[in-house]
Amino acid sequence: DAKTTQPPSMDCAEGRAANLPCNHSTISGNEYVYWYRQIHSQGPQYIIHGLKNNETNEMASLIITEDRKSSTLILPHATLRDTAVYYCIVRVGGYGGSQGNLIFGKGTKLSVKP
């Protein structure tokens, strides 16, 4: 399974864009990049996912480099409620029952400051 590397922590000013990087240099061609976040001690929450094209939804944008070895999650206007641990995950590929299982790293702790 492809492994991801994220900075352990980042700060962002309220109202500014938060750009969270992720390296996944061993990603396979059929593996998706997923982002989840965990606010305080709640269960993780899905944010967005993509394969090779940039994606946008109501929460965030995902920019994946052309070689797919890295990606960036963008929260366009961060609020205090976006303070959380953000996990970049490469979804288990292939077939069979393990397909789609999430393998979590330690993530990036984003602190949004007023």
Residue ranges that bind another protein, judged by CB under 8 A = 32, 34, 36, 41-46, 49, 87, 91, 97-107
Task: Name the DSSP class of 95.
Answer: S
Distance in Å, CB of 44 to another protein, minimum: 5
Nearest CA among 77, 71, 56, 58 for reference residue 12? 77
Nearer to another protein, 29 or 43 (CB): 43
The tokens of 33 are what? 């990049």
The tokens of 2 are what? 């492809």
CA 68 to chain centre: 14
Print burial letters for 21-39: b (CB count within 10 Å at least 16), e (below 16). Answer: ebbbeebeeebbbbbbbbe
Residues, the chain, total?
114
Distance in Å, CB of 82 to another protein, minimum: 18
Nearer to another protein, 41 or 53 (CB): 41
Nearer to another protein, 15 or 98 (CB): 98
Nearer to another protein, 42 or 53 (CB): 42
Distance in Å, CB of 62 to another protein, minimum: 13
Distance in Å, CB of 84 to another protein, minimum: 13
